[in-house]
Structure formats: C-alpha cells, structure tokens
Structure 1
C-alpha cells in the first residue's frame, strides 16, 4: 500500500475554537478539510454549515474544489450543513461517501423525549445532489487515503447511550454501524480522522491497524468521551498513548482527555477550529 503526503488537515468546524487570526467561528459539531498530494476531502459539514463556509473562506480553502464529501455518520451535528443552501451549492455534484446505514432515521433520548437528530435531506434529495458511494467495506479514495467502512468491534466500548433508530421492529437502540473514519497512510504511519467515534476510538484504532497494515501515527477528531467517567477516560487515553504517537481530541472528546494529552506537548495536537496536523 502506497503512502501519501498530507498537505493540510484543518478543522473547519468544532465546539472548541483556537485563538488565531483572522477570527474563526465555532459551533457544536464537526467538520475537517483534508488535502493530500492527490486529493481534497471535506469530512463532515458541521451542524449549520455557517462555520464551514466562513472558516474555509478565511483560510483560503476552496470548497467547490473538493473531490469528495465524506460523512462520518448520520447525526445532524455532522451532516446539518447539507441543509445550508449556500454550502450545498458549493458541494453539489460531488462524490459523497458514507456507510449505507447513514440514512436510518436517528433519534436521541434527551430529558426523556425522543428528538430527531438525523440527516436534513432525504435519500432522494441526496441522490439528486450527489454521486453517492455507500459502502460497508473500506474503500481507497486516493493513493493512501481510505474510507474505513464499518468499523469492526474488538471488544472495546462503543459510545451509543441514549441513541435510537427506527427499524422494522419499531424504535430500537442504535449501535451506530454507520460510524466511519478516514485512514491516511503517511511515511510516519497512519493518520486517523474520526467524527464522533461512536464505535469507540480504541476499536477504530485497531481497525485502522488491520485495514492499513500499519502503525498509527496520529488520531484526530471526536472520541465521544465527554460523558465518560474519569477512570474510563484515563484507561482509554493510556491505551491510545501506548499505540499512537500524536493525539488531537476534538468535538465530543471532553476536557479530561484534553488535559491528559495536553500535558505532553510532544504528543498533543491542537484540534480546535483552524488547527490540525
């Protein structure tokens, strides 16, 4: 498997902002821009799409020039930007890659009430706007750049508490089979980019090792440890730091893992808005 060179990996939308000039916007949700020597990818589109548009313009990123739009999973804080007409016009006609279960009707039990948190567009609307690649299996998007497909579980925790979907059996727990990552093989090892990490960052890490047949150099994105106990976060972080050289917790990762990894400047990646690898 050939490696590639990352020219830019920049967070475009996140609930944590970095202090940089010019001023950039943040919101709850996630989006990142990946550019290698061969391909340009928009990974997730944020909650409203407003920070994605604003921050891309300020950073000189031409969204209309991306080759792929990749969606990490079907939740609104990662796909809601598709409901932004201005952003949609820039992305219309692109190849969009996702797991087929991304179109399931998804709900969150929030304070005892089910709230819809799924895609803002229907399947028919998505098919009219994009060229869809829906796959459960890993697929090479460009030299050294892989869509993970469905992440195998290796016995580590997944993070799906309070999440439900509509199936033929009614409303059932959602184990987030659509939660997917990007794997980029570089000369230093594989870089993982994850949206929310519902499938479990340790499962994702091991899946990346298997798919890429490579060591892991960096893991960046949401790890969904925000609501986990400190003891659990410490155990996950220790396992990560034993296997990954650089770590950039973002979005739903929580402050505990940020404080642990952030105490080691050689391991830490600032993954706030406008920052990245």
Structure 2
C-alpha cells in the first residue's frame, strides 16, 4: 500500500491532531520521499502526524518558488545529509511581475546553493531520474499544451519572462497504474500527465497535489475535467487547484475527485510500489 501524506498546504483538512498549521504552499510525503517543503509548517506538521521525515533519505523540489522551498533548511536540519533532487535552474533569481511591470519582489528559493549543499547531496537533473525503486522525478517537462507561468527571471540581458523550466513532478509505479504527485504543475497538467506516461510506459490512474488550475478559465477546466474523467480512478486536488476548479471537478467527476489539505493521507489500497 502506498501512503501519501500532505504536510503543508493552503488549508488544514482535519481538526485532529490538534495544532496542525496551514500556509500558502505545499509539501507531501510520498512513502519515504519528500516532495517540496512548504514555507515553514512541514516539520511541525510532520511531527504531529507521526511522519518521520528525519529518517527520509530523499527530497525532491518541484520548482524553486518560495512557497515550495522556504522550509527547505528546516527540513534539512532534521535530516542526515539527504539527496536533494532538483533541476539546475532551481537556483535562478526569480521575481514577481505585476501587470507586466517588473517590481523585484522575490519569488524563488530564499537560499543559496552553497548553503543547501552544506546540508545535502544535490543531484541536479534535466532528465527523468529514479529516486528509489519505482519512484521517479520527471525532470524538465515538454510543453505542447497549455502551461502556467508567472513572474520574471534574471538573465544576462536583464529580466525576462520566466518559463519555470525547472517545474517537475513525481510519478510512482504501482500495480494498478501510475500515481502522479504534483507540486504546482506550472508545466501544465496535460503536459505533465503525458510526460509521466512516456517516461514510465504506463497510464496515469491517480493524480494528487497542486494542479495549477487556479490559473485556468472555466472552459479549460471543463475540457480538462472531461479528459481526466476518461483516464483516472482518483484525483485529489490541493494547493493551487483553486476553488473554481475544485467546484467544477467535484460536479463533473464526483466519483473521482476529492479535495485535500494538511493531514490528508491518501492510501492507494492494494497497490504495491513496483521495483
């Protein structure tokens, strides 16, 4: 059985255990692999939930945005030199872009590479990589369908539109199909699903995490929900899925969709991680 527990999210899903904290961001334990670290609540919530991240050996960063990486040092401080999987562009200097105006508000990871390297073994990758048996970080995702970008990034020629090329997700091979766990899915949901299926030569049957449908219009959400309805056994929306999309998905896919938050544990009953 594969257990996926949300440690940081925009909302708390349950009043118990007492003291769970919500924040804008995301962190999730996929078995004993950690995807993202939220802003500040992941370690606190993990302790309350009995998730021993201090014993984990692997951390994956879905991308560099602060709401997925600000808690990184808190996590690394309780771990013993874990492997940190990330795209090489995760260290880029990213900034907010309001109404087309570059205003300099930082969006990216708030730590330097040397600081992080002192507490972990950094594994930079553009291509897919297997972290543990049957668990893959997807690397850079080809984009043939809609993606969702934000902000600007510093380059030698100045600040340019940020394509967030470092965006990646994690896919787990199970006996009943692929389980795709998303951080923020800036690369786009269709693109990410298709890439996961290409990398692992199987069908995505489960999706958990931030779909970034918060940035999609209603027509696109309807089209995506119809497409997903023909593919999925379970869709668990969190973080940047957005209230509009959650409402549409719940209405159109009532037997497939559910929302989640801090404290939610998704159990894929009867599924074994394949080696």
Q: TM-score, normalised by structure 2?
A: 0.90
Q: What's 1:271 paired with?
A: 260
Unpaired segments of 5 or more residues in structure 2?
A: 267-275
Q: What's 1:12 paired with?
A: 7
8 Å CA contact retained: 2:86, 2:166: yes
Which shifted more, 217-226 or 255-264? 255-264
Q: What's 1:32 paired with?
A: 28
CA deviation profile, 1:174-222 (whole Å, cap 9, x unmatched) = 1111001000010110000111100001100000110010011111111
Shift of 1:236: 1.8
Q: What's 1:141 paired with?
A: 131
Question: How far apart in 2 are the matches of 1:91 and 1:266?
Answer: 38
Q: What's 2:270 paired with?
A: none
**Residues 51-62 of structure 1: pairs in structure 2 closer than 5 A:** 51-62=41-52
Q: What's 2:140 paired with?
A: 150
RMSD: 1.5
Question: How far apart in 1 are the matches of 2:265 and 2:229?
Answer: 18
8 Å CA contact retained: 1:249, 1:257: no
**Residues 62-141 of structure 1: pairs in structure 2 closer than 5 A:** 62-84=52-74, 87-110=75-98, 112=101, 113-141=103-131
Q: What's 2:148 paired with?
A: 159
Q: What's 1:45 paired with?
A: 37
8 Å CA contact retained: 2:76, 2:120: no
Shift of 1:92: 5.0
Question: How far apart in 1 are the matches of 2:36 and 2:139?
Answer: 15
- Secondary structure at 2:215's aligned position in 1? coil
Question: How far apart in 1 are the matches of 2:33 and 2:256?
Answer: 25
Shift of 1:21: 1.4
Unpaired segments of 5 or more residues in structure 1?
A: none
8 Å CA contact retained: 1:269, 1:276: no
8 Å CA contact retained: 2:59, 2:83: yes
Q: TM-score, normalised by structure 1?
A: 0.90
